[in-house]
Amino acid sequence: MAEETVSAALTLKDIAREAGVSLATVDRVLHKRPGVRPDTVRRVQETIARNAFQPHVAAAELARGRARRFAFVMPTGANPFMQQIEAYLGEMSAWLSARRLNVELINTDVFDPSVLAASLETLSGDYDGVAVVALDHPGVRAAINDLVDAGTKVVTLVSDVPSSRRHHYVGIDNIAAGRTAGALVGRLVGEKPGKVAIIAGSQGLRDHAERIFGFNQVMASEFSHLDILPLLEGRDEDDRSEQLLSRLLGKHPDIIGLYNVGAGTQGVAKALTEAGREKQVVFIAHDLTAMTRRLLLQGTLDVAISQNPGHEARAAVRVLLSLARNEPILSEQENIRIDILMRDNLP
Amino acid sequence: MAEETVSAALTLKDIAREAGVSLATVDRVLHKRPGVRPDTVRRVQETIARNAFQPHVAAAELARGRARRFAFVMPTGANPFMQQIEAYLGEMSAWLSARRLNVELINTDVFDPSVLAASLETLSGDYDGVAVVALDHPGVRAAINDLVDAGTKVVTLVSDVPSSRRHHYVGIDNIAAGRTAGALVGRLVGEKPGKVAIIAGSQGLRDHAERIFGFNQVMASEFSHLDILPLLEGRDEDDRSEQLLSRLLGKHPDIIGLYNVGAGTQGVAKALTEAGREKQVVFIAHDLTAMTRRLLLQGTLDVAISQNPGHEARAAVRVLLSLARNEPILSEQENIRIDILMRDNLP
DNA sequence: GGCGTTTTGAGGTACGCAACTCATTTTGAG
DNA sequence: CTCAAAATGAGTTGCGTACCTCAAAACGCC
């Protein structure tokens, strides 16, 4: 039996004594407050490092008095994925309040850059941290940078703005998600030749464009015997997606693969089943909802590629909290995975 | 814009005032200490419920003074998966010490029931919580129950003892994992007939047996055109697995699917590549290690089914902590998923 | 009504840190 | 050397809870 050392639980007082300074000076160093000579700063920091001292989170939290405020800026409307994220935030409410964390939901039209940017500007100063489902647009980028400059911690959620100075991105790599979809379609259709249909909300949406890019990449390099049909744009709407796909299925009796990049999966599935082709076509879509779960169990949908909304909600909160506390982030924990869900590994 | 209510952050004092009792009485109720009339208990509890009062975690943690001690009882030896769990515990050390949590690793021969049971018995009273990779055996079950009776929180890790009174299980449903493997083999080989080989460590290991069960279930019900060969037992050893599989591959030139249930994946892969059959055989194995990652990227391994060791390590710690604090568990968060990993969705 | 027992109140201390004040010492520029 | 500015020490208060003691009140029983 091997045991790890049981740390002696040092306190700030111990550090002060060992560094030969007063408690106040250690406090100044710890919070990067001015009024300490560089020499002294170094001496204190070395003592902290040497002892691997960690301030007691509970004591720090208790001492600061005021609660932390986080804002989640989410899209208005009935997007089920976003609603799931909001639902999981609700499930955390006991956890949050036991830690005196206030999380406020702010619904905005995140697809209008000026509205989103204006929304973000109003938050300045009022919040310790902001999580935002962000559109990648210069105005939004500027608003994010302003928040960061004002000392607010900013996390992009689901959709990133890599060119901004946001502290963290909580979401998946959509190119890899598209590649995964491509590999699955290619592998599941087998070796027979045929056509593959892709339907997306819009090529203008960054995440959709990235998924399509990754999908095409894999199809071209690994499954060149398959014929990729021109992209359909269903605007994430069930009806429109259904109509477009119905027409396409009628025109091409040899479609053997189908990838729905965005929402509208219900419409896509309806077109497929009404054509009586659900058993012959490998169908892959995104996200796990009550509906995609049903389609998976029925066998209409072969694979759902998803990002875990609960994980994203919790990761965003944890990251904001760690940033606010100036605490390291457990990167492996906060990294969102691309989940491949089939009938037998449904959560 | 909709906002959630910002709770007023009640304290115990507020509850005491509203219930018309003293702080001491509220404290007694909260900690289920004796000396309070049933009537009063009810009144206090109702006040707590009515206000959705949550004790401030930080204050409670600070006030209790002593650190919590958790023990992780893990197998001795070089099992890479277990080593990954231990590694992730190491990565948490800053997180743990900032919360004054002591996690101690205790390596034991978990495959010998009497040794494991004895190991568990020695822990009684010394620890607030124990996470154990448990063998399902009456002696072990009794030892776990003894720990629970002594007030220690117990979590089974990776391998469960469902008949014990352990508080929680952190790990995957291995039957579902086997079903997933079966569905993937069946779907990836396509419609052509052929033989499928299964190699496991031992049928005596509960997790292996469960995976085999799930695998066979799916094969029988959904892919009955495939011929399942008799199980090979490789004892999780590379060399033995390689030899067994080499012989089998020589005997059956029409093997098109291969499922490795346990460890020894390196040996299995070697047999496959030395026979020059890695492109013709759909190969599915468990767990993500440096080696299986390499095999996935090479294309030798088609899919790795895995449970996230980092997640399991963190979930075990969080669950033990929540149990010790008498705090609800975020079940969706602690539920371990069956990950399907392919080349393109590697983390 | 008196007794012992149970229940309750009142109060204190401690936990480790943040944040603040104010006095004192040190430093560097002139 | 002088003086203002910078650096530091010393100390206080409060955060919300756990845990403890002791006294007082209420209760149930005969």
Q: Which residue has the higher pLDDT, B234 or B295?
A: B295
pLDDT surpasses 90 at A168: yes
pLDDT of residue A185: 97
B21 touches strand C (CB under 7 A): yes
Question: In whole angstroms, how far apart are CA B97 and each of A18, B57, B87, B93, B347?
Answer: 20, 16, 16, 6, 27
pLDDT of residue A242: 96
Q: Which of A215-229, A242-256, A297-311, B45-59 has the lowest mean pLDDT?
A: B45-59
Q: B30-41: per-residue pLDDT in tens?
A: 888 877 777 888
pLDDT surpasses 60 at A155: yes
- As a whole number, the mean pLDDT across chain A is 91
Q: Which residue has the higher pLDDT, B320 or B23?
A: B320
Q: How confident is the model at residue B2 (pLDDT cuts 50, 70, 90)?
A: very low
DSSP line for A259-323: EE-SS-HHHHHHHHHHTT-TTTSEEEEE---HHHHHHHHHTS--EEEE--HHHHHHHHHHHHHHH
* CB spacing of A191 vs B188 below 8 angstroms: no
Q: A97-154: per-residue pLDDT in tens?
A: 999 999 999 999 887 889 999 999 999 888 999 999 988 899 999 999 999 999 999 9
Q: Which residue has the higher pLDDT, A267 or A44?
A: A267
pLDDT of residue A2: 39
B58 touches strand C (CB under 7 A): no
Q: Where are the domains of chain A?
A: 12-50, 65-168+309-334, 174-306
From the list A1, A107, A311, the residue facing B108 with the nearest CB is: A1
CATH domain B67-171+309-337 topology: Rossmann fold (3.40.50)
Q: How confident is the model at residue B8 (pLDDT cuts 50, 70, 90)?
A: low
pLDDT surpasses 80 at B226: yes
* A71: exposed, middle or buried (Cβ count in 10 Å: 0-12, 13-18, 19+): buried
- Tokens at B31, concatenated: 């900690």
Helix (H) or strand (E) holding A92: none
CATH domain A65-168+309-334 topology: Rossmann fold (3.40.50)
d(CA B273, CA A146): 56
pLDDT surpasses 70 at A267: yes
Distance between the alpha carbon (CA) of A59 and the C1' atom of C12, Å: 21
pLDDT of residue A132: 96
Q: Is B12-55 assigned to CATH 1.10.10.10? A: no
A62 touches strand C (CB under 7 A): yes
pLDDT surpasses 50 at A4: no
Q: B157-180: per-residue pLDDT in tens?
A: 999 999 999 999 999 999 999 999
pLDDT surpasses 70 at B72: yes
Provide, as residue numbers in chain B, all residues whose Cβ is less than 8 Å from the Cβ of A9. Answer: 67, 100
- Tokens at A42, concatenated: 């170094």
Q: A46-96: per-residue pLDDT in tens?
A: 888 888 888 999 999 999 888 899 999 999 887 889 999 999 999 999 999
pLDDT surpasses 70 at B5: no
d(CA B123, CA B140): 13
CATH domain B174-306 topology: Rossmann fold (3.40.50)
* CB spacing of B98 vs A338 below 8 angstroms: no
Domain A65-168+309-334 and domain A174-306, same fold? Reply is yes
